[in-house]
A = this chain, B = another copy of it.
């Protein structure tokens, strides 16, 4: 669905131009290590990916052997995908077509031994918030506990013993049909163990999200799954270092950032924010962006003085994973569906904390005291005047 002019990937741009020691230097400075520690992928997976037109890549983040703790190696998968049907089709058809596509990628992930799998923001629908229309898009909203997407994934959770993070539009019937932007966490036995609702909501360009849902009230939960302690920072929350911080304080070892963001607005920020969070908080971050462009039935404007149009910009994919030491994988494609697998030894989180000491030296008492003052209406800024 991408325009012909879109390049396939940032990483390949460089890979095609550099080689030998120069490529190693680029890799060392940019990605954090001279080679990517790529893992082999089974032939059956590669064939499945080729047949179904998605990319698969896998990388390793090992940790040092410790004397007292055993290593804790998990395989995390993240999926980026475009929508399937055109947005004027009945919404159940649209959703079902996405389910069918995703099913094939889940099978590939299971074949590669993935333990935890996360999708992009609102993975089961087009990103229709550009339209400001409530109908039919609000009909995609569903119960976190037993909506169609949760039901769809529970089956695979049981079948493959896999943990799923499912970012959906949630309808909260218990509270006046409030709509939330929510990530549902389904454990390896198919049980919904909890959910997190997006804490920070954009009001920028085509991202009229405050029109649809409110700031989350679930705090900063960390889900203690069979495979590690995980949390979810949904999309725009990646711009907020305090949001990342609190997930770290609560013990997260992996924080997923399911997103939907477009070229022109954010592409030069994409490689920075989740990676910075991994560094600052000594945990793994997994950045997932949808891919392709999406066209809507009716015209909308983008709040930028330009004429009305029907097409969202280009969702540039480029999903990637960062380790607590700041090393990262190459990104997935800018234009195609993909499955990125990161094998990680979670012991690396504490090893990096012990080495760098960022969390130990962060002086939270100082900042708690400062923020208490800052939020008061009569806060006087600490400004030293020239005279």
Contact = CB atoms under 8 A, between A and B. Distances in A.
Interface stretch (A10-18, A36-44, A141-149): A10-18
B280 A240 contact: yes
B14 A224 contact: no
Interface string A268-284: 11011101100110000
A224 B268 contact: no
Nearest to A210: B361
Given A194-B384, A357-B203, A242 B272 contact: no
Nearest to A32: B268
B364 A371 contact: yes
* Interface of A, helix, strand, loop or mixed by DSSP: mixed
A221 B33 CA distance: 37
A308 interface: no
A386 to B, nearest CB: 5
Nearest to A373: B368
Given A242-B245, A374-B364, A382 B220 contact: yes
A368 B371 contact: yes
A271 B185 CA distance: 33
Contacts of A368: 368, 371-372, 374-375
Contact of A361 (B26, B240, B273, B355): B240
A204 B363 CA distance: 17
B386 A239 contact: no
Contacts of A372: 368, 372
A229 interface: yes
Number of copies: 2
A35 interface: no
B386 A250 contact: no
B370 A220 contact: yes
A221 B363 contact: no
Given A199-B363, A361-B201, A361-B202, A272 B268 contact: no
Contact of A250 (B242, B366, B383): B383
Closest 6 CB pairs of A and B: A241-B241, A32-B268, A276-B276, A368-B371, A17-B17, A194-B384
11 contacts: A13-B18, A14-B17, A29-B268, A193-B384, A200-B361, A200-B363, A220-B370, A241-B245, A249-B381, A365-B375, A368-B375
Interface of A: 7, 10, 13-14, 17-18, 22, 25-26, 28-33, 185, 187, 193-194, 199-204, 215, 219-226, 229, 236, 239-242, 244-246, 249-251, 267-269, 271-273, 275-276, 279-280, 326-327, 355-358, 361-368, 370-372, 374-375, 381-386
Given A17-B18, A32-B269, A239-B280, 19 more contacts: A13-B22, A14-B17, A14-B18, A17-B22, A28-B267, A29-B268, A33-B268, A187-B386, A203-B357, A223-B384, A239-B279, A240-B362, A242-B362, A246-B374, A268-B326, A273-B279, A273-B280, A276-B276, A365-B375
